[in-house]
Structures are given as C-alpha cells and as structure tokens.
Homo-oligomer: A and B are copies of this chain.
C-alpha cells in the first residue's frame, strides 16, 4: 500500500485503567485520539458498549475524507492467533473474551490483536527506538512487567500467539505471590509494584532512617521512591540496586535465548534513569555468557504513554 496520507488504521490500546483509541496514518502520525476508563472490574458487555460509542465519536469526522483499512488492538494477555484475551489479571471479564471478533464486528473491518507489550515492541520497530534494529526485546516496567520480542524484524508470536511473557519467568521458586497464581515471578520484583514491595521488604529488614518510612503501602508510588533515591536516601537506592540485580540477571538469561542487539525499556521504573540503568547494565554484564559480553545495549524508549496506540497501529499496518 502506498503511503497515501488519506489511508488510516484504527488503533486500540486496552489497559487495566485506561483504553486509548486513535486514527493513525502509515507515518505514525496520530490524527486524533480519545481516552476513557476501561472499568475492567465491570462486565465486559459494558466495555464493548462504551468502546462502540467512543469509536463513533472519533470516526465520524474522518469518514468522508479518509479510508480506514484495518484495526490494530493491543490488550493484556491477548493472543494473536485465537483473538482472545485469556484470563488477564486485573480484569473481571471471565476466563476469556473473543475481543478481536467483537471489535471486528463493531467496525466491519479486519482486526489484528496481540498483547499490549508485543504491540509496544512493534511500535518501537516501526516508529521508535527499534527502527534501525532487527533483533531486540522490549520490556515495559509499569504496574507489571510486559515484554515483546523482535527477531529478524518480526515479532515472536509462539505456537498459540502467547510468546513473550517475561514478567512470569521465575526468580525464586518460593518467592513473592504473583497475580497470575505463581510465586516468585519476575514482575513481582522488577516493576513499579515490584520495587514498592522491595522497599517494604527493606524497611522490615533494616533499621536505617529513610524518607520512605512515612508512607503507607497504599500511599507509596514509583515516583516517590525515585525522588527519595535521587535525594540520596540509602534505602531507596538499595531498592533500585536490588531491583537492578534481579532484572539484570534475568535479562542475561533472555540474551542466552535470543542474543538481541538491545533491550528497550519503558514504563515507570525505567524513568528513574541512571541510578537504575547503570547498575542494571553492570549486573546484566556480570551474568552474561562470555560470547555475549559487551555487546547488548540497554536503551530507554522515547515513547510516552500517549504513544501507546502506535503499537496497535503498527500491528494493523
């Protein structure tokens, strides 16, 4: 298809909190977008109704002048192959919903779906930090840890469309309880929620003063931990170091599988900057098999949260 600016795709990013929808051309320009509460604890039928209304509002002004060719959807635990979301944690939509078919019917257009982090990886490949690369792994370090793997410029989907769930590799077999039902999953350590849990572990293990002693578990967020670390708070720095150690070692395991050129990091935890990235590099390097040493880059994504529809858009294109 030529890069006619009149050609658009419809992109949908379904998150546990917000859903974003937008119209995107082949250059990755977002012509218009909307955002609404996913209300993931409410019934699925209510979400579909709301999505349908929002789509009408967004699409109507573009109907005459533009052609919409396809729909790209990014959603937690979504399978490219079955088109379903399969028991996504934090959603109360039941065991599985056939969301691809439902959205296809709303817009009467071909739809493509993959999980949110896989979509983010496609976004990096077509429009982001991965544009000049053919082999890389995207890690989204937010509430959980999502991942998408690009090999020879293609997303790895796996046998049933569910590959790339690095948030659920195991750190400690009898470790922290994960939302997925397992124990010791990487995302219980290496995510915004993970570092918060690590802060509370350190607060319980140590007696040292810390700015973070005045926060309840419900109050504490990633930004506060990061600010404390930047002010030199020892405990906060220790939390980042511990998180970097756990994540760096598991990234070395991922290198032993895939030998990527780089990891591209995004999400709240990655925003802490060098005080996290520098130890992360060191711990990863120390754990790398000889043949991989001093070759694998760690890059920060330039994508902002408003770019999250670019991944689904890349999938649709």
Which residues of A line the B interface, CB within 8 A?
Answer: 77, 79, 86-87, 134-135, 149, 151-152, 154, 156-166, 168-170, 173, 180-182, 185, 249, 252-254, 256-261, 287, 289-292, 295
Contacts and interface: CB of A to CB of B under 8 A. Distances in A.
A87 B166 contact: no
Given A165-B289, A166-B257, A168-B256, A295 B180 contact: no
A291 B165 contact: yes
B257 A162 contact: no
For chain A, what secondary structure do more than half of its interface residues adopt (helix, strand, loop), or is it mixed? loop
A161 B77 CA distance: 31
Contacts of A291: 77, 79, 86-87, 160, 162, 165
A284 B39 CA distance: 35
A134 B157 CA distance: 12
B253 A170 contact: yes
B160 A295 contact: yes
A159 B257 CA distance: 11
A164 B258 CA distance: 6
Given A158-B135, A159-B259, A261-B159, A287 B182 contact: yes
Contact of A292 (B152, B162, B254, B260): B162
A257 B258 contact: yes
A254 B159 CA distance: 13
Nearest to A261: B159
A80 to B, nearest CB: 11
Contact of A170 (B134, B154, B158, B287): B287
A250 to B, nearest CB: 8
Contact of A159 (B164, B165, B295): B295
Contacts of A287: 170, 173, 182
Interface centre among A173, A256, A259 (most CB of B within 10 A): A256
A135 B159 contact: yes
A54 B252 CA distance: 40
A122 to B, nearest CB: 16
A102 B256 CA distance: 27
9 contacts: A86-B290, A151-B158, A156-B258, A159-B259, A163-B257, A163-B259, A164-B256, A173-B249, A257-B257
A152 B157 CA distance: 9
A290 B181 contact: yes
Contacts of A169: 252-253, 256-257
